[in-house]
Chains A and B, each alone.
Chain A
């Protein structure tokens, strides 16, 4: 056992290396594997073609989320291709003995919402899923990242993938966040600072008082968007906030198992003097509510700022102009006051109870703007239930909003929740790529507070004016 100081990431990584290959990747053991209907069917097909089975079915969990309707979930799914994918997930799960929370199951919801809320996600684990936002689970001090379908097949058949160890980046944010600044703003700010590829090749640890004081929901929002800075994943050291969140959840360890694991989890932090390849430091006081103006998540600014010029941004001018043209925006335009046609709150980034509480805090006593179509989509049935129990549903209804049923919805617009071409959507999701929310759709990424401010005023509005 090495006695030299190690980072949190080193500790968890090293504990999962089955074999190191000279001039090659590590054979990396996976504790928990999530699957959904879109990226798993071809992996199961591959198993069949090779005559392989699922090695440890109890380590894999299936939920349907990407391609599900968010209304009338009790009715048969209309789109035959979507219905076929959902049926394949159910069939494959049953065939191999994998736990499956399909459409209509009370545990169903977005994979990165239901994993944590059911106590499947634990500190020190390695977690993968055929979905890049698997980085969400890093909020618990797990190494969690997205994989491709070939790797899904590897995990199913051998519980391992072949993975080179990434470099290490530490991002410290210290100080107090000001009013109206949420975890979403913190992560959009970081991405704007380092760009959408600034952490490619790295695994990030988030540290400093801002993350120490953040709720688990907030940490999940931040870790979720690690991939949007190019990082494979991001993690936060587990602490009392983490342990309190996990304790008592359905699949969380209990009794002696809990005591044993808690002792282990308390060792999961970066040692004094451990080294990182890159360390970045930011001040909480510099962060204001953020919004994106372009077609990658790195193109974000403080909501009170003007769109930068190509020269200010640097990089390829043609790509920058292509992006602004797509958005119908111009250099030096202010963001405040821009037209908004749609508001989407939900997704694995901001589809948890805290996000709906924030949204309701602004909506309360106000009315939905007539020019806005709002899609309010809980991340899971459990979140939906909380929304109703806490009275948030009544606030939303009173203000003229409707609540939809859980799923990924307009974040990637695989189902019918597509923003029409040319329309502007303020979205709490994670990607503003061209056509991400529907062909020709224009996405402005922001926090639930900014989304709420847009929903009640019908334009981009600083939420601090409404708090």
Chain B
């Protein structure tokens, strides 16, 4: 599925300083019944965001109007658990384009890039600085520069580099995906398959 190219993103951010945010929290299983990729953002963090009678939980960060932006900042081990790509779809559909954490679960990280969300891994210290900056000023902006592979707290100028492999970076910068690439080497795959043990 096509997604928008990612280059430089400057935005305020939504803080979620909780560790081990698993994909069952991001989107509970009972909302995985669709056969199309539509509307998952409505149920993003459903059980943290709404009471059982569907009224919003006032103390949850997404229901607090002072926080907004295209960047979600989470605690360590973000996106653990189930491989459901619906978690990444829900985050994208809600309007986030970048998730920042000190540590991501593997499958979530892959899924994010595949749908056009940039996962940015920062040091625990830098993550702490981001949370503090947002605590001091909920409109504090972050600048995520994919070509330069840096993330900056705009107000303080604090900056850190992040890793991403060249292939995936190129995909995000250009809005390409893996399926386009794999189609281009189909002949090679066919030759490989013929020699397979199974």
Q: Write the residues of chain A forming the contact surface with B, with a CB cutoff of 8 angstroms.
A: 15, 18-19, 21-25, 27, 29, 31-32, 38-39, 41-42, 45-46, 49-50, 52, 55-56, 66-67, 79, 81-82, 84-85, 88, 122, 124-125, 130-132, 146-151, 153-154, 157-162, 164, 166, 196-197, 200-201, 227, 230, 232, 261, 264, 295-296, 315-316, 318-319, 322, 412-414, 421, 431, 433-436, 439-440
Contact = CB atoms under 8 A, between A and B. Distances in A.
B165 A31 contact: no
Contacts of A148: 83-85, 88, 107, 110-111, 114
A42 B36 contact: yes
B97 interface: no
Contact of A130 (B35, B83, B193): B83
B108 to A, nearest CB: 8
Interface in B5-36: 17-20, 22, 24-25, 28-30, 32-36
A382 to B, nearest CB: 22
Interface stretch (B64-72, B137-145, B149-157, B177-185): B177-185
B161 interface: no
Interface in B139-198: 165-168, 177-179, 181-183, 185-186, 188-189, 192-193, 196-198
A125 B196 CA distance: 10
B82 A319 contact: no
B167 A200 contact: no
A201 B106 contact: yes
Interface string B101-120: 00111110011001100000
Given A82-B33, A261-B197, A39 B84 contact: yes
Contacts of B80: 196-197, 230, 296
Interface residues of B, number: 58
Contacts of A124: 197
A421 B52 contact: yes
Contacts of B18: 316, 318-319, 322
12 contacts: A21-B167, A24-B167, A50-B179, A67-B33, A84-B35, A88-B35, A148-B88, A227-B81, A227-B107, A315-B76, A316-B17, A439-B52
Interface of B: 1, 17-20, 22, 24-25, 28-30, 32-37, 47, 52, 75-77, 80-86, 88, 103-107, 110-111, 114-115, 165-168, 177-179, 181-183, 185-186, 188-189, 192-193, 196-198
B35 A45 contact: yes
A38 B24 contact: no
A158 B179 contact: yes
B33 A85 contact: yes
B196 to A, nearest CB: 7
A88 to B, nearest CB: 5
Contacts, number: 206
Given A158-B186, A200-B105, A201-B106, A434 B47 contact: yes
Contacts of A67: 32-33
B149 to A, nearest CB: 12
Contacts of B177: 150
Contacts of B115: 150
Contact of A150 (B24, B36, B114): B114
Given A55-B186, A148-B85, 11 more contacts: A66-B32, A125-B197, A147-B107, A148-B107, A158-B186, A200-B77, A316-B19, A319-B18, A322-B18, A431-B81, A433-B24
A381 B6 CA distance: 48
B194 to A, nearest CB: 11
A160 B83 contact: no
Nearest to A38: B32
Contact of A413 (B29, B34, B106): B29
A325 to B, nearest CB: 13
